[in-house]
């Protein structure tokens, strides 16, 4: 499809300039860029040889990860490997490169503060507590959908060696989807109670911008900037 679109652009009097791709948000597999660059090189070569269309730019989009609970390679390692992939396919004739590394730039800079509304157990023998907080999937934590992004969560006012137990963390709305972590086996202090603060770390990306406006009557989350 990309091949046909670029040929059509040329035929309509436009100047085909480059190709954009995106390997997936929070992409922890650097090899995904290798596959995408190889396919892009094939298009560059085919278009020039068959249609006399010479492209000069690749927009690699985003995908560079932030630091959540699961470990990631450093941005320097991403840069080194992607540069190697480019040289493998393009030699010394590397096109103009555009990147959109938004998450990796701002993700680790944000902290979302929530307050515990209540804790409960579903029955007298339940081993896992439910922790309900005043911020949920619809108030800035939509990327916990399917538990795809696992934010570090820290309880304020408890020692590091405080006794902990497994919890399910849910938001404040009546929507059954408003459960952030049910299978991830998060642990929080056993003494956690209503009014305690939870800090969600690395929430600088896709939180306030994804938050709903007055869903279930809850106002948008407030944002504060610190220099």
Mean pLDDT of 36-54: 97
The CATH number assigned to the domain holding 78 equals 3.20.20.10
| Domain stops at, among 59, 80, 105 | 105
Residue 72 lies in a domain: yes
Residue 223 lies in a domain: no
pLDDT beyond 90 at 142 = yes
How far is Cα 75 from Cα 167, in angstroms, rounded to an integer?
33
Answer yes or no: do 13 and 95 share one domain.
Answer: yes
pLDDT beyond 90 at 70 = no
183 pLDDT band, cuts 50/70/90, is very high
How far is Cα 114 from Cα 112, in angstroms, rounded to an integer?
7
Answer yes or no: do 150 and 213 share one domain.
Answer: yes
Residue 206 lies in a domain: yes
> What pLDDT was estimated at residue 186?
96
The overall average pLDDT reported for the chain is 94
Answer yes or no: do 85 and 161 share one domain.
Answer: no
Residue 227 lies in a domain: no
| Domain stops at, among 105, 138, 160 | 105
> What pLDDT was estimated at residue 181?
97
Residue 88 lies in a domain: yes
pTM: 0.87
Answer yes or no: do 69 and 120 share one domain.
Answer: no
> What pLDDT was estimated at residue 65?
93
Residue 127 lies in a domain: yes
Report the domain count for the chain. Answer: 2
119 pLDDT band, cuts 50/70/90, is very high
The CATH number assigned to the domain holding 160 equals 2.40.37.10
Q: What is the DSSP letter of 155?
A: E
Answer yes or no: do 26 and 122 share one domain.
Answer: no
Residue 154 lies in a domain: yes
User: Are the CB atoms for 25 and 63 separated by under 8 Å?
Assistant: yes
Answer yes or no: do 65 and 121 share one domain.
Answer: no
Mean pLDDT of 79-96: 97
pLDDT beyond 90 at 12 = yes
Answer yes or no: do 69 and 139 share one domain.
Answer: no
48 pLDDT band, cuts 50/70/90, is very high
Q: What is the DSSP letter of 220?
A: P
Range of the domain at 79: 2-105
> What pLDDT was estimated at residue 8?
97
97 CB-near residues (< 8 Å, 6+ apart): 57, 58, 60, 86
pLDDT beyond 90 at 214 = no
Answer yes or no: do 115 and 99 share one domain.
Answer: no
pLDDT beyond 90 at 4 = yes
71 pLDDT band, cuts 50/70/90, is confident
Mean pLDDT of 74-86: 95
């Amino acid at each position: 499809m990309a091949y046909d679109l670029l040929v059509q652009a040329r035929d309509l009097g436009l100047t085909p300039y480059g190709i954009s791709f995106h390997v997936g948000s929070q992409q922890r597999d650097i090899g995904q860029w290798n596959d995408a660059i190889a396919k892009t090189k094939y298009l560059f070569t085919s278009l020039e040889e068959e249609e006399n269309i010479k492209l000069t730019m690749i927009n690699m989009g985003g995908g560079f990860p932030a630091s959540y609970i699961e470990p990631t390679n450093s941005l320097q390692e991403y840069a080194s490997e992607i540069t190697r992939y480019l040289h493998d396919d393009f030699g010394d004739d590397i096109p103009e490169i555009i990147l959109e590394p938004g998450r990796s730039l701002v993700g680790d800079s944000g902290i979302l503060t929530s307050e515990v509304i209540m804790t409960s157990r579903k029955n007298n023998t339940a081993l896992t507590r439910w922790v309900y907080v005043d911020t949920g999937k619809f108030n800035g934590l939509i990327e916990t959908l399917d538990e795809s992004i696992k934010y570090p969560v820290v309880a304020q006012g408890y020692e590091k060696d405080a006794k902990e137990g497994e919890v399910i963390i849910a938001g404040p709305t009546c929507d059954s989807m408003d459960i952030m972590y049910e299978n991830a086996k998060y642990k929080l202090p056993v003494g956690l109670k209503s009014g305690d603060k939870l800090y969600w770390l690395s929430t600088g990306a896709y939180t306030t911008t994804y938050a709903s406006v007055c869903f279930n009557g809850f106002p948008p989350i407030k944002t504060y900037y610190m220099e």
